[in-house]
Chain A
Amino acid sequence: MFIATALLALAAAGQADTTFAVSTNDRLSLEHHAGSVEIRVWDRDEVQIMSDDDDPTIQVDRAGSAVRVGRRGRHATHGADYQIRVPAWLPITFNGVNTDFTVRGMAASVRGNTVNGDIWIIGGSGLVSIRAINGDATVERVTGRVDVESVDGDVAAMDIVGLLKASTVDGDVTLERITSESVDGSTVDGDVFFSGKVHQDGRYKLATHDGDVTFLVPEEVDATVKVSTFSGDFESDFPFTITKLGGNSRRFTFALGSGSAEIILEAFDGTIALRRAGDN
């Protein structure tokens, strides 16, 4: 394996700057223990890392096409704010502990995890997969496959084109202006909201244990709607005729138009609402 390790200790007082070239097939992996990381794109085939840390020690390791950026030594766990510039085509992966991540303008895959901190992805193409444990996770304007997850925090996805899965435990799931054939939004304690296109063969599932589920339906829609709740209730802006009734009155199915798409709405305890887009 051709491996090059570069340890870059920067003496400049106040602000540190590390820049290195990347090329096709490279991918960037970033580890950051504490602070914040903001990643933006530029039109150079280089990665630039700016840090306000007093005594930064940024380490860049290259192993084949994988470029790993982290901090070593005694400053590894101290808080630091990074501003990073990357080419839009560079796939990136990040991992943080007590770190907020913001990534803007990417045209390649973005994957990342943080334990305590928020993640905000604006722009991406391909796979965007982010997970927070204690923080909010938001994805906007991505085309591809989006997987956004939190445990204690809200999850939001806006202006997504592609496959979408969003989940959290304690928080709301908000899915807006979605163009997808496959949507799965779920939470345990919180509300789930969806607005977007309904493809004729699409499948859209929104589920919560304790909270409300709201599906904003376009005017002309062809979907079979399956509603299930244990102790909640159901409201609809659309007239409907129940075509299938479960064992009790809290599980039923009805069709809108030709019924080709599948809309599954579940709330163990909460209000399930089918709203007409445009009325809101």
Chain B
Amino acid sequence: MADLWTSKLSEYVDGTLSAADRQALEGHLVDCGDCRVVLDDLQRIVSGASALGDQAPTADLWPGIEGRIRPSVTDIRDLGAERRRRWRVSLTLPQLAAAGIALMLVSFALASQLGPRSTTTTASSGDTAPVLHVGTARSQAVFAQAVAELQEILESGRGRLDSTTIRALETNLAIIDRAISEAQQAVSADSANGYLRDHLEQTQRRKLDVMRRAADLIAVAS
């Protein structure tokens, strides 16, 4: 008997019993202390459930999401002729000797001609992974722009980090810059080499990763 009434208590709490059933149950509740206790408990549970707040994940999931929503370089070993032509056009420019800096200057110049950038970067920590189709001036412009913006964050926030951390970051960014420069020189001498293009891209990504981690540290230290 008790189970018959108890089984209706949830619907009673939800207000979905028929008028006749509701009346019968309310009559029963007058005499049944046990059912009243159960009803109180169920109402508390329902109230508690509707009041449950939301809790953000402990880890920052955005980088994983961002990595999946931005197009990524898969296999660039088989670049089409059009891309090779574009690369060779940029190679003929006098500035494109061996230095990576020169390449970046050219990239900036091309970027200004290309108009608004295709990816949006903001001056905040933990930001963008730009498309790095190595071998296009546009991609190099995107990379340079991301570096410049992250550099701005690092410069403005370096006072929040201790000297040991700053030294480690600067030393390692210099190591990566040297590697990027060497890779760029190699790519400019052998532009059809898929390994060299991949390697340059990976090394540039590494630089952005380290800079982003530094920016995250600054944000946490703020």
Q: Which residues of A contact B (CB under 8 A)?
A: 1, 27, 29, 63-64, 66, 93, 98, 111, 115-116, 131, 133-134, 151-152, 169-170, 186, 188-189, 207, 209-210, 228, 230, 246-248, 251, 266, 268-269
CA A116 to CA B168, docked complex, whole Å: 9
Dominant SS at the A interface? strand
Q: Which of A1, A115, A170, A228 has the most CB of B within 10 A?
A: A115
Q: Are A268 and B169 in contact (CB under 8 A)?
A: no
> Which residue on B lies nearest to A171, using beta carbons?
B172
Q: Are B182 and A209 in contact (CB under 8 A)?
A: yes
Contacts A/B (CB < 8 Å), 23 sampled: A1-B53, A29-B58, A63-B55, A93-B59, A116-B162, A116-B165, A116-B168, A131-B213, A133-B213, A134-B165, A151-B172, A152-B168, A169-B176, A170-B175, A188-B176, A188-B206, A230-B186, A246-B195, A247-B190, A248-B190, A268-B179, A268-B183, A268-B199
CA A201 to CA B35, docked complex, whole Å: 62
Q: Is B124 an interface residue (CB 8 A)?
A: no
CA A247 to CA B194, docked complex, whole Å: 9
Q: Which residues of B contact A (CB under 8 A)?
A: 52-53, 55, 58-59, 162, 164-165, 168-169, 171-172, 175-176, 179, 182-183, 186, 190, 192-196, 199, 202-203, 206, 210, 213, 217
CA A189 to CA B178, docked complex, whole Å: 10
CB within 8 A of A170: which of B172, B192, B203? B172
* Shortest distance from the beta carbon of B188 to any chain A beta carbon, whole Å: 12
CB within 8 A of A210: which of B179, B186, B195? B179
Query: Hey, which chain A residues are within 8 Å of B192, CB to CB?
Result: 247
Known: A63-B55, A152-B172, A188-B203. 7 other contacts (CB 8 A): A93-B58, A98-B162, A152-B168, A188-B175, A209-B179, A247-B193, A268-B179
Query: Hey, which chain B residues are within 8 Å of A170, CB to CB?
Result: 171-172, 175
* Shortest distance from the beta carbon of A225 to any chain B beta carbon, whole Å: 14
CA A228 to CA B179, docked complex, whole Å: 16
Given contacts A64-B55, A188-B179, A189-B179, contact A169 B195 (CB under 8 A): no
* Shortest distance from the beta carbon of B33 to any chain A beta carbon, whole Å: 28
> Which residue on B lies nearest to A91, using beta carbons?
B58
Q: Are A230 and B206 in contact (CB under 8 A)?
A: no
* Shortest distance from the beta carbon of B221 to any chain A beta carbon, whole Å: 9
* Shortest distance from the beta carbon of A235 to any chain B beta carbon, whole Å: 18
> Which residue on A lies nearest to B216, using beta carbons?
A113
CA A131 to CA B196, docked complex, whole Å: 28
Query: Hey, which chain B residues are within 8 Å of A207, CB to CB?
Result: 199, 202
CA A27 to CA B190, docked complex, whole Å: 52
Q: Are A169 and B165 in contact (CB under 8 A)?
A: no
CA A134 to CA B168, docked complex, whole Å: 6
Query: Hey, which chain B residues are within 8 Å of A209, CB to CB?
Result: 179, 182-183, 199, 203
Q: Are B164 and A151 in contact (CB under 8 A)?
A: no
Query: Hey, which chain A residues are within 8 Å of B164, CB to CB?
Result: 98, 116, 134
Query: Hey, which chain A residues are within 8 Å of B196, CB to CB?
Result: 230
> Which residue on A lies nearest to B173, using beta carbons?
A169
* Shortest distance from the beta carbon of A171 to any chain B beta carbon, whole Å: 9
Query: Hey, which chain A residues are within 8 Å of B53, CB to CB?
Result: 1
Q: Which of A1, A111, A131 has the most CB of B within 10 A?
A: A1
Query: Hey, which chain A residues are within 8 Å of B162, CB to CB?
Result: 98, 116
Q: Are A251 and B175 in contact (CB under 8 A)?
A: no
Q: Are B179 and A246 in contact (CB under 8 A)?
A: no
CA A115 to CA B183, docked complex, whole Å: 29
CA A194 to CA B199, docked complex, whole Å: 20
